[in-house]
Amino acid sequence: MIKESKKFGIAIHGGAGTIVRELLTPEREQAYLAALEQALNTSYTLLEKGGSAMDAVEKAVRSLEDSPLFNAGRGSVFTADGTHEMDASIMDGATRQAGAAAGVTGVRNPIMLARHIMEHSSHIILAGQGAERFAKQQGLQFEAEEYFFVKQRYDQWQQVKGSDTTALDHSEDRKFGTVGAVALDVHGNMAAATSTGGMTNKQFGRVGDSPIIGAGTWADNNTCAISCTGDGEYFIRAVAAYDVACLMEYKGLSLEAACDEVVMNKLRTAGGEGGLIGIDKEGSIVLCFNTLGMYRGMRDSSGQQKTAIFK
């Protein structure tokens, strides 16, 4: 029987980047904060009632996927072909089981597909049409193309359509629009989840770090749970999420020190912009980024709670 802990908490992110306050109207800023608070509070309530970290991170990411404000699920950016190719992953810190989906179209909540892959298949990653076929077998909800149409995303695509240029979500403010969540439950278990629509005008079935276990997502009860957001190619080469856990396990670094080493030193030195959120087995939460801002929030059982965008 698992020894229960009174400590629990959750952290979420909605993307990081050069988010300039002057380009964000007060109304839009409040809309972002409200969406973050909704995702945060519904998941926290679940944890408060003794729910699992896995359920909490899935619920939080699903809420962010349903919002048109974030580049995941409904708000996903347009590919070069004018479609939406979404990626997601989820990992259970208690068992180190994981599931991921890459390059899927039409699936309302890719994070649910990632979890179904983990729990109802013998695989970790399914991609493209095969992943979609599996989603239909599992009875997951699909939406028509119109559901994923957000005019702001369409306008961003029009600026680079027909070129070889890709844009990282917002061309005007360089926001990396991945969403994610990490949680610790009262049973001492951790989980992490990440979801994204990728890059505007992306070609050739490009896949970033979000569905790659160890790069964009990691969870292990012995160390931490991590969800990343940023320039995916850099996070993949750095194996960023797992690197935080390694620094904790093998060098004895705290969660905060490990996150700083990866985000502020390793990634930034290589030219990688972005950030990550993390929680450890003691309930400590870190929201770390090397950009001007990151849509983020956290709430824990000690009474701490915040949502923020800028540094």
Q: Which of 18, 105, 166, 178 is catalytic?
A: 178
What gap in Å lies between CA 71 and CA 64, rounded to an integer? 9
d(CA 15, CA 19): 10
62-67 contacts, C-beta under 8 A, 24 or more apart: 62/109, 62/111, 62/112, 63/35, 63/38, 63/39, 64/12, 64/14, 64/35, 64/36, 64/39, 64/179, 64/181, 64/195, 65/108, 65/109, 65/110, 65/111, 65/179, 65/195, 66/108, 66/109, 67/35
The answer to whether 42 is a known catalytic residue is no
Instruction: Give the Cα separation of 53 and 285 in Å (integer).
Output: 14
- What residue spans of the chain are helical by DSSP H? 26-48, 53-65, 110-120, 128-137, 151-160, 232-238, 240-251, 255-260, 268-270
Question: Which residues are designated catalytic?
Answer: 178
